[in-house]
Amino acid sequence: MALPIIIDCDPGIDDAIALLSAFVSPELNILGICAVCGNQPLERTVRNALQITELGGRSDIPVYAGCYRPMFRAPIHGQFHGENGLGKTELPPPVKEVESLHAVNFLIESCESAIARQEKITLCSLGPLTNLATALSMKPSIAGGIERLVLMGGAYREAGNRSMTSEFNMLADPHAAHVVFSSQIPTVVLSLDATHQVILTPEHVARFIAVSGRISQPLGELMAFWDRNDVRRYGSRGGPLHDPLVIAYLLAPALFATEKARVFVEHESELCMGQTVADWYGKSGQEPNVEIVTHVNAEKVFALFYGLLARYAENS
């Protein structure tokens, strides 16, 4: 049976790559896509999600608009995604329309329905955690319908990528992150510690363009725009493959090593706002609440994505 998942995201170039990879994975049953304010304002992340579903030939997947701002702070937006969130890539205006149901209500209804069927859903979070935190604040019992949460966010042994200490998704809504990490949901975290091990170089981009068939042009444009050209930080040209690693983890968890820890999120200090602090050695006296990915087999992860995105050539 395909794994039932909900993808909560803020597209975003790396979100787009993650979605396009998930669309051609029969192992995943995508129940819906929830958009949230993050890399771009909500109106744009919703539009981008609709455009990406059409590019991927998956207009059958419903898209829901979620929270238009963080729980308590003013919105911030991504720095590496261009003016429209998709770099310089211009996709056709979406034909598909957003669902009338709010994303938070969709999350609640989906989890309650799963509980009633004695089943569970896997949540994939690629952006700020505002939608899920709001749903948990309204109906804490929905945690019973969640098998696990697999999220991209945080920084532990790596420095932050949006502030000195903080990764963007956590800084964008630290209060939401605090709510989610304080819940009892089993959680796997792909932080900058993991994503900085998987750098999408120009050589990788060339190979993706060669194998991806009908989506090769927009995919190549997205990936080329993602090049940070920061050899000092990443050791080469290219950019970290952040959000797609959530999909890779679902499909091939054996390619990832994890370590359990208790994670706390700073949501009071402006100096370290959004910092994720891991108690690796039990100093807090509290039990671990997440599994943090500490090592990634980057070579095999790239091989996985080559195989996935080559399916667009097979289906051309």
pLDDT tens per residue across span 37-88: 999 999 999 999 999 999 999 999 999 999 999 999 999 998 777 788 899 8
300 pLDDT above the threshold of 60: yes
Q: At residue 281, does pLDDT exceed 60?
A: yes
pLDDT digits (tens, 9 = 90+) for 159-213: 999 899 999 999 999 999 999 999 989 999 999 999 999 999 999 999 999 999 9
> Which amino acid, residue 223?
M
pLDDT of residue 236: 63
Three-state helix/strand/coil letters over 197-238: CCEECHHHHHHHHHHCHHHHHHHHHHHHHCCCCCHHHHCCCC
Report the distance separating Cα 214 and Cα 203, nearest Å.
20
The two three-digit tokens of residue 270, written as one number = 């402006």
Angle made by CA atoms 34, 38, 43, in degrees to the nearest 5: 65
Using the predicted structure, report yes or no on whether residue 315 has a pLDDT greater than 90: no
Q: Please count the other Cβ atoms lying within 10 Å of the Cβ belonging to residue 105.
A: 17
242 is catalytic: yes
Residue 140 DSSP class: G
Q: What is the mean pLDDT of residues 251-264?
A: 98
Give per-residue pLDDT as tens, 118-129: 999 999 999 999
Rg over CA atoms, the chain:
18
Examine the pLDDT at 132 and tell me if it is beyond 70.
Answer: yes
Residue of 175, 196, 204, 242 marked active site: 242
